[in-house]
Amino acid sequence: MLSTVKNILEKYVALKPETTMIVGFSGGWDSMCLLHIVKKLSETYGFNIVAAHLNHAWRGEESDDEEANAQRFCAEFDIKFRAERLDEDTKQTEAVAREERYEFFKRTYEYNKANILLTAHTKTDNAETVLYRIAKGTGLNGLEGIREFRKLGDMNIVRPLLSFSRKEIEAYCMENELFPNNDSSNQDTRFARNNIRYNIMPRLKEINPNVETSLINLAEIAIGNNNIIDELMQNIQTQITTGNKWHTQNFLRLNSAIRRHFVYNLLLKYNVEPSFSKVQEVLSFIADNNFSKTGKTLSITSDLTLFTSHKYTYMLNEEDTAKKNLREVIITGEGDFPFENKENLVIKPCAEKIEHFPPKSARFIYADMTNISFPLVLRTRRDGDIIQPLGMQGKMKLKKYFINKNIPVYQRDKMLLLCKENEVLWIAGIGMSEKLRVNEVATHKIELNTEI
């Protein structure tokens, strides 16, 4: 097992002192086996290990005992240990547990500036995953099961034990006198994967004693076929994407099977279980809302949201959709006004003739403030805001202005506004009021900048 794990690791990361590996460590049989093997390798190659343990707090004292046992193991083998505990009101489902676990891994990964995350999925887990996806409904992609390597954002994830069965893992632990946790919830067949493990797989083994191997072979065939499909789809991808955004109308012109493939891969990229029903939900949402100019959103998980508009479709994270809680900054006159994250609003005199005005998307404007009196306020939007758009005689509600500009709803609470009472004079990066129009000579330059 040691040489197999070593060979797999070397495919994805250099085994040297500068390398840091995070090992997902529940303290159970699989993860204790993996951590023990990786520790042995680190003694030879000198790389760093951090064991990451998430206490789900589902089973009270038992969960705490498991965390303590995991910590004792790490102390005995001189392994850095990091643990977090979920809030007791966290929803107790497999999907939420998985989501919270990977968010914790991500925090640990970033904090330690790690190179790779190792999880202890086994051959048995892989077979059960394929069967689970068949039962839930999946396409050819879902039959791939658990890949040896995948990326989740900036995180490189490797599963070095995928070629070993659970029996082999247990044999390793007993041979090395390891004492793993025995999570009682693993026996609870109310959870779908436990139901497969204890009720479904034994029945299938009556038909085919090698059903586990057969399911793994099916996954290998699916991986091979999908590799062919992925190569063929590279050209298609360049036609419908800009960065992480899909051009909605181009996407909808694709064949339905290709659209399904794109959505499946999108969910997989963001660590969402790509069941048939979830893929269909996303496809239907895009089709139903593709005429929206300002866009609609669909909640995918507690911190992931899909955005669709007539122009683009893309995924948003929790930070993208969170409201910006900017305290109001009173602008008393010319000068430099810091507000947050080393950002500043600068208003300074500018007595020069302007021949080339900046684009609306710029973080600065030239303004004629002859008829504008201080104080002004830098803030985010609130009810009752109005604006007189550049080039217009009348005023309109800010909400209508945003709609006319096709500004998505999730972005509107993040816009920085320079206001005189409830009237907006400048929306940074979007546009300015007629009241600041420069005919020939600007009186001021207004700029948002960041200290370095």
pLDDT tens-digit readout, 206-230: 999 999 999 999 999 998 988 888 8
Q: Which residue type is seen at 316?
A: L
> Rounded distance, CA 21 to CA 320, Å?
29
Q: Which residue type is seen at 81?
A: F
Provide the 3-class DSSP secondary structure of residue 449: strand
> What is the average pLDDT across 428-434?
91
> What is the average pLDDT across 306-334?
87
Residue 192 lies in a domain: yes
> Rounded distance, CA 424 to CA 386, Å?
6
Q: Are residues 137 and 48 in the same domain?
A: yes
Q: Which of 321, 340, 356 is the last residue of a domain?
A: 321
Instruction: Indicate the DSSP class of residue 199.
Output: I
- Rounded-to-10 torsion of CA 32, 22, 322, 251: -100
Looking at residue 204, its pLDDT comes to: 94
Q: Are residues 42 and 175 in the same domain?
A: yes
- pLDDT per position as a tens digit, 50-102: 999 998 877 778 888 889 999 999 999 999 999 999 887 778 777 788 888 99
Containing structural domain, residue 76: 2-212
Reported as half-sphere exposure (CB side, CA atoms, 13 A), residue 271 has a value of 24
Query: How open is the CA angle 149-155-157, to the nearest 5 degrees?
Result: 25
Looking at residue 124, its pLDDT comes to: 92
Please check whether residue 109 is in contact with residue 22, taking contact to mean a CB–CB distance below 8 angstroms. Answer: yes
Q: Are residues 98 and 62 in the same domain?
A: yes
Burial class (CB in 10 A: 0-12, 13-18, 19+), 51: buried
Q: Are residues 49 and 126 in the same domain?
A: yes
Residue 90: phi and psi, rounded to 5, are -65, 135
Quick one: which of 22, 24, 95, 52 has its CA closest to 267?
A: 95
196's tokens: 């497969």
Q: Are residues 282 and 348 in the same domain?
A: no
Looking at residue 451, its pLDDT comes to: 55
Residue 336, strand partner residues = 346
Burial class (CB in 10 A: 0-12, 13-18, 19+), 436: buried
Looking at residue 158, its pLDDT comes to: 96
> Rounded distance, CA 22 to CA 12, Å?
14
Residue 157 lies in a domain: yes
Q: What is the pTM of this model?
A: 0.60
Looking at residue 252, its pLDDT comes to: 95
CATH number of the domain encompassing residue 29? 3.40.50.620
Looking at residue 326, its pLDDT comes to: 72
